[in-house]
Amino acid sequence: MTDCCTPKKSDHGIYDLAVVGAGSAGFSAAITAAEQGANVALIGHGTIGGTCVNVGCVPSKTMIRAAEAIHGARGASRFPGLAGEAQVTDWGTLVSAKDDLVVSLRQGKYIDLLSAYPGIAYLDGAARLTSSGIAMDEQIVRADKTIITTGAAPGKPDIPGIDDVPWLTSTTALERTELPRSLVVIGGGYVGCELAQMFARMGTEVTLVTRSRLLPKAEPEISEALTEYLRAEGLTVRDGLTYRRITQDNRGVALAVEIDGFEESFEAEQVLVATGRTPNTRGLDLIEIGLQISNNGGIAVDERMRTSKPDIYAAGDVTGRDQFVYMAAYGAKIAALNALNGDSLVYDNSAMPWVVFTDPQVAGVGLSEAAARTAGYDIKTSVLPLDQVPRALVARDTRGLIKLVADAKTDRLLGGQILAPEGADSVQTLALALKTGMTAKVLGETLFPYLTTVEGLKLAAQTFDKDVAMLSCCAG
């Protein structure tokens, strides 16, 4: 066990706070506590920085952006008089550049930060919780309060034969030094959709399969539209199926599925599994100390980030909820402040924006139509095709739609989702509208700059009561 930048412990030889896990949630908790004047033990194991910077958001999004550059060049012909072409010339160099970016951000946003906070001691080693403290390499780290932030890892689906096939995860797929010729992607969630499209645009023959539909938590209109856009790019997308078995031979892998009572087989050089993430609790001995685990395998916490054991909190992906890096950091900050100051803060995800970095991007916040009905609201909805948004018309790319959900009695906005090439940069406006309790009428009367994607929110709000196709430019 190594120990750098060790702060002074409390007079009784115990840290004020121990944080187990050194990813985004762990650093958020540790920095928050240090800023409160606490002495903190930040315990990491393996590569510092966690999922997002090392194997998640950063590497995947830079590769997705590279694939968008290829697609953008090829799509130049949508403008009369233009033509373009692009292709991967050196996959290994592209992967190396991705790795360099990861190293740079890990150093600048994690490793270099430790010296700026003398109240944080970074301890490296495997940890497990005991009744007397946190055991590390035959030593016991003691703290008044503990926060568990050990994250999550790619899960394994229950498919016969999966243990006999060398399957890729979202991590290992981005580590390959050779671009696969063909790929079966199992799972239609955000990771599966993002990586399937990315590899297809890079030149891989991709088959995307899922048991339900693509992005099952998205609005059905958005899921259906995205499916058609991916197929138009050449991906094979098959949904509503049952996995039967997976096998390997000298040609590659074969996934047998059942669709409408008939068995089909999809063959490819490699298979990428993207069926969800599993909280990292193994080896922590949580059950042995009596910590409650949720049905999804995560650590059960209440609205104040408290676990079932006094003085132990948890935050981030290890809780199995809201698995986004910014929500991990947010929850960890609340956990640290509550641990040190008396549990006064409540975790609130009611205006939590989320983004899927496909193209078109999918973004949303608040309640979907189905969720709003389940919650008992009498609702109204508006759906605006992107061909009614001037920005999409001048860009000659009208793929997408915007859907808003509002309370029919009060007109208060309850949620919304955006499918648009630049939709991710518009969702925060909708998040602020929900956070402030804005009505659809007020959103529709708000000033928006012309020829922007976000102007679509204004038009979608107006669509509740009028046909925006009958408005002149900027009218209303």
pLDDT score of 471: 80
pLDDT score of 207: 98
pLDDT band at 333 (very low <50, low <70, confident <90, very high): very high
Q: What is the CA radius of gyration of the chain?
A: 24
Res. 334: pLDDT tops 70: yes
Higher pLDDT pick, 137 / 254: 254
Q: Would strands 133-136 and 128-130 be described as parallel, antiparallel, or unpaired?
A: antiparallel
pLDDT score of 100: 98
Res. 254: pLDDT tops 50: yes
Mean pLDDT of 48-59: 96
Domain ranges of the chain: 2-49+110-154+278-341, 162-275, 354-465
Res. 83: pLDDT tops 80: yes
What's the per-residue H, E or C state across the chain?
CEEECCCCCCCCCCEEEEEECCCHHHHHHHHHHHHCCCCEEEEECCCCCHHHHHHCHHHHHHHHHHHHHHHHHHHHHHCCCCCCCCCCCCHHHHHHHHHHHHHHHHHHHCHHHHHHCCCEEEEECCCEEECCEEEECCEEECEEEEEECCCEEECCCCCCCHHHCCCECHHHHCCCCCCCCEEEEECCCHHHHHHHHHHHHHCCEEEEECCCCCCCCCCHHHHHHHHHHHHHCCCEEECCCEEEEEEEECCEEEEEEEECCEEEEEEECEEEECCCEEECCCCCCCCCCCCCECCCCCECCCCCCECCCCCEEECHHHHCCCCCHHHHHHHHHHHHHHHHHCCCCCCCCCCCCEEECCCCEEEEEECCHHHHHHCCCCEEEEEEEHHHCHHHHHCCCCCCEEEEEEECCCCEEEEEEEEECCHHHCHHHHHHHHHCCCEHHHHHHCCCCCCCCCHHHHHHHHCCCCCHHHCCCCCC
pLDDT band at 469 (very low <50, low <70, confident <90, very high): confident
Higher pLDDT pick, 137 / 357: 357
* Distances from the Cα of 465 to the Cα of 367, 409, 470, 476, angstroms: 21, 14, 12, 12
Domains 2-49+110-154+278-341 and 354-465 share a fold: no
pLDDT band at 1 (very low <50, low <70, confident <90, very high): very low
pTM, two decimal places: 0.95
pLDDT in tens, 151-163: 999 999 999 999 9
pLDDT score of 2: 43
Q: Would strands 413-420 and 262-268 be described as parallel, antiparallel, or unpaired?
A: unpaired
pLDDT score of 10: 60
pLDDT score of 275: 96
pLDDT in tens, 294-327: 999 999 999 999 999 999 999 999 999 999 999 9
Return the minimum-mean-pLDDT range out of 134-138, 200-204, 267-271.
134-138
pLDDT score of 476: 58
Q: How many beta carbons lie within 10 A of that of residue 128, not counting itself?
A: 14
pLDDT score of 344: 97
Res. 4: pLDDT tops 50: no
Classify domain 2-49+110-154+278-341 by CATH number.
3.50.50.60
| Mean pLDDT of the chain, nearest integer | 95
Superfamily of the domain at 354-465:
FAD/NAD-linked reductase, C-terminal dimerisation domain (3.30.390.30)
Domain 162-275 falls in which CATH fold? FAD/NAD(P)-binding domain (3.50.50)
pLDDT band at 250 (very low <50, low <70, confident <90, very high): confident
pLDDT score of 137: 87
